[in-house]
Amino acid sequence: MNILVCIKQTFDTEEKIVIKDDRISEDGVEFIINPYDEYAVEEAVKIKEETGAEVTVLTVGPARAENALRTALAMGADKGIIIEVDGTEVDEYTTAKWIAAAIKDRRFDLILGGNMAVDSGAGQVAIRVAEELDIPHVSSITKLTLDGIKATVERDVDGDTEVIEVGLPFLATAQQGLNEPRYPSLPGIMKAKKKSLERLSVEDLGLSQKVTACTAVIDQYLPSKKQAGRILQGEIPQQVNELAQLLRNEAKVI
């Protein structure tokens, strides 16, 4: 069995966001594997340990994204692919197109990705890849069981659980609760340095037409600071009247 895991390198969730020249500053920032993608990597490695599958991890991004691949390799993946796009305007549309072009001639029985990226929250790329490849997809899975050429998956649906049976190949996105991602061991980190890493440019993908972003960021800004709360005094009818006046005249929401 061949498994592909699509991952993204994102800001560490503990990092403070700084806007500089209408851009998010990357000065001194620590980057990590998108946390939801870690669930996908862990699930793939678990399947590898149980069945002897081969696990490939793929990312799209600048050269620094290689570090995310090396972390996934240290977790137990076998080889990596990076599509380098330094300085190129990228969105979910372009990323999915490039990934699909890179893997369309490679055989994968299962493709995994994170439910969403914590930086954008879009949750589109993996699903778009499945559409580009014309294979089934199941999002937000919390359990995966493989049985020959089919799989049974569970996913959260409005507080309940939906059970779906699907044939291979298919794509699934991982949700919290699917597993507990392991930390890379020191031997794993040392082995990762010697594992195969394939580097591709957009030109290497053989696309007949140039793929350009369909969305543009017009402005970026930090949320305004919250004002201190106010405790209303007096009898309940008086407080209700004062609250209505504040909502109308100060907050201007009614």
Tens of pLDDT, residues 182-219: 999 999 999 999 999 999 999 999 998 889 999 888 88
Give tens-digit pLDDT for 23-32: 777 788 889 9
- The total of structural domains in the chain comes to 2
- Of 12-21, 154-163, 231-240, the range with the lowest mean pLDDT is 12-21
pLDDT computed for residue 68 by the predictor: 96
Residues 238 and 131 in one domain: no
Cα-Cα-Cα-Cα dihedral of 53, 165, 173, 217, to 10°?
140
Compute the distance between CA of residue 8 and CA of residue 224 in angstroms, rounded to an integer. 29
Please compute the mean of the pLDDT values over residues 230-247 and round it to a whole number. 92
- Nearest-angstrom CA–CA distance, 224 and 148: 53
Both 138 and 249 in one domain: the answer is no
Report residue 179's pLDDT band, with 50, 70 and 90 as the boundaries: very high
Cα 193–Cα 194–Cα 200 angle in degrees, nearest 5: 85
pLDDT at 28: 82
Give the whole-angstrom CA distance, residue 111 versus residue 166. 13
Of 220 and 80, more confident: 80
The CATH number of whichever domain residue 117 belongs to comes to: 3.40.50.620
Nearest CA-CA partner of 210 in 79, 85, 25 = 85
